[in-house]
Amino acid sequence: MNKIGPIAVFDSGYGGLTVLDKIIKHLPQYDYIYLGDNARTPYGTRSFEVVYEYTLQAVSRLFDMGAHLVILACNTASAKALRSIQQKDLPLIDPQRRVLGVIRPSVEKVNELSQSGHVGIVGTSGTVQSESYLMEIAKLFPDIQVSQEACPMWVPLVENNEFDSEGADYFVKKNVNSLLYKDASIDAVILGCTHYPLLIPKIKKYLPEGVNVIEQGDIVGESLKDYLQRHPEMEKKCSKNGSVHFYTTESTDKFKQTAGIFFSGDIRVEHIRL
């Protein structure tokens, strides 16, 4: 096994590319591999057991490919699989490797992002049902009031390139109104799903002016930079040639066609089976 390797970014499909895009802007010097489990997406409607099983398969594969550090860019995987993998599996697979998620870095910023102390979370049904955001925010900022809204149609709208359509207006308005009905004092909304940044213009259109819409990409990029500074033993294991390689469990042609919506760089992709 190589002593150094790429940083791996995993998602159930394309959405994690919005996070990878921002991570690379913050940390362009490293090598990255991105794995999209496009053949089995979406994860957002799947059970805890299935999301855990699929995510563990992906993480193990990324370790085999030489990564010492895996970022679960998927909120659903971070909500349903991260803790079990960190506590149960990593000590058995290799206690020196690390798997990090996207929920904790977003939660750590919540108090800076809201003035009113009333925060909204939008996410997949799986992320919302897991209550991960509620629990994490309650631990760090017990005074912040959090309301959640599951938006099951938003991922299919983005995946099908319909994020700028009238259909998107209909579903975004419906979910945003439902969130505001739960708490009209919300002044910050966390986009708790990797696909949602593409819907930002529509989300802002239906939120009252001045509400802070929080994208995770930059937050995760900054948090990873900070993590690598605080963990030189891990930083030393990350190779630095500025390369990015993509892997998909679906067809590579389809990946190349769609990935450009989410990621601004060059896309060289290979197929793998998990």
- Residue 44 found at the interface with ligand DGL (CB under 6 A): yes
- Sign of the alpha-carbon torsion through 46, 267, 31, 225: negative
- Residue 249 found at the interface with ligand DGL (CB under 6 A): no
Cβ within 8 Å of residue 88, ≥6 positions away = none
**Degrees, nearest 5: CA angle 154-47-189:** 35
Q: Is 193 an annotated catalytic residue?
A: yes
- Sign of the alpha-carbon torsion through 61, 66, 70, 74: negative
- Residue 124 found at the interface with ligand DGL (CB under 6 A): yes
Minimum distance, C-beta of residue 173 to ligand DGL, in the bound complex (Å)? 21
Residue (237 or 255) nearer to ligand DGL, CB: 255
Which residue in 73, 82, 79 sits closest to 14, CA to CA?
A: 73
Alpha helices in the chain (DSSP H): 16-26, 48-64, 75-80, 82-84, 90-93, 103-108, 110-113, 125-130, 132-140, 154-159, 166-182, 200-206, 216-230, 232-235, 252-262
Q: Is 151 an annotated catalytic residue?
A: no
Q: Single out the residue of 6, 15, 101, 105 in contact with ligand DGL (rule: CB under 6 A).
A: 15
Total residues interacting with ligand DGL, rule: CB under 6 A = 17
Token duo for residue 101: 């998620």
Minimum distance, C-beta of residue 132 to ligand DGL, in the bound complex (Å)? 11
- Residue 5 found at the interface with ligand DGL (CB under 6 A): no
Q: What is the C-alpha to C-alpha distance for residues 183 and 144, in angstroms, rounded to an integer? A: 12
Q: What is the C-alpha to C-alpha distance for residues 188 and 210, in angstroms, rounded to an integer? A: 9
Identity of the residue numbered 45: T
Which residue in 130, 104, 69 sits closest to 216, CA to CA?
A: 104
Q: Single out the residue of 33, 121, 151, 193 in contact with ligand DGL (rule: CB under 6 A).
A: 193
- Residue 43 found at the interface with ligand DGL (CB under 6 A): yes
Q: Single out the residue of 55, 106, 114, 127 in contact with ligand DGL (rule: CB under 6 A).
A: 127
- Residue 40 found at the interface with ligand DGL (CB under 6 A): no
Minimum distance, C-beta of residue 155 to ligand DGL, in the bound complex (Å)? 5
Site for ligand DGL in 154-173 (CB under 6 A): 155
Site for ligand DGL in 56-85 (CB under 6 A): 74-76
Selecting among 193, 213, 238, 259, the annotated active-site residue is 193
Q: Which stretch binds ligand DGL (CB under 6 A): 37-45, 88-96, 108-116, 242-250?
A: 37-45
Q: Which residue is nearest to ligand DGL (CB)?
A: 44
Minimum distance, C-beta of residue 33 to ligand DGL, in the bound complex (Å)? 17
The residue to which tokens 């930059």 are assigned: 218
Contact 198, 163 (CB under 8 A): yes
Site string for ligand DGL, 201-240 (x = CB under 6 A): ----------------------------------------
Interface ranges with ligand DGL (CB under 6 A): 11-13, 15, 41-44, 74-76, 124, 127, 155, 193-195
Give catalytic residue positions: 74, 193
